[in-house]
Amino acid sequence: MKKFFKKLALIMSLVILTLPLFASTVQADSQPSLDLNAAAGLAFDENSGQVIYSKNANQKVAIGSITKIITLYLVTKALKEGQITEQDTLQPTQAQADMTKDNELTNVKLDVGRSYTVKQLYQAAWIVSSNSAAMMLADKVAGSQQAFVKMMRKTLKNWGIKDAEINNVSGLNNSDLDSSMYLGSADGENKLSTNDIGVIVKHVLDQYPEILQTTSMAKLDFPADNETKTYNSLNLLLKGQRDYQAGYEFDGLKTGTTKQAGESFVGTLPMNGTRIVTIVMNAQGESNDVDKRFRSAQKLARYVKDNFEYKETLKKGSEVTINKKKYEINQSSYIWVPKNFNVENLSYNESSNDLGFTAKRNKQTVKLIAANTASGYLPFKKADVKKIIHKKTSQKSWWDQIVEFFNHLWKRLF
Active site residues: 65, 68, 129
Which whole-number Å values give the CA distances from 114 to 111, 129, 131, 220, 223, in the listed order? Answer: 6, 20, 17, 19, 10
Q: How far is the C-alpha of 237 from the C-alpha of 234, rounded, in Å?
A: 9
For residues 92 and 132, the answer to whether their CB atoms sit within 8 Å is yes
Which helix or strand (DSSP H or E) is residue 64 part of? Answer: none
159 burial level (CB within 10 Å; 0-12, 13-18, 19+): buried
Q: How far is the C-alpha of 377 from the C-alpha of 25, rounded, in Å?
A: 19
259 is in an annotated binding site: no
* For the chain, counts of helices (H) and of strands (E): 10, 18
3-state secondary structure of 21: helix
Q: How far is the C-alpha of 191 from the C-alpha of 165, rounded, in Å?
A: 5
Signed CA dihedral, 176, 181, 187, 190: sign only: negative
Q: How far is the C-alpha of 294 from the C-alpha of 276, rounded, in Å?
A: 15
Q: Tell which residue, 12, 185, 179, 158, has the closest CA to residue 73.
A: 158
The number of beta carbons lying within 10 Å of the beta carbon of residue 99 is: 24
For residues 210 and 279, the answer to whether their CB atoms sit within 8 Å is no
Backbone angles phi and psi of 310, in degrees to 5: -95, 100
Q: Per the annotation, where are the binding residues for substrate?
A: 254
Q: Binding site membership: which residues? A: 254
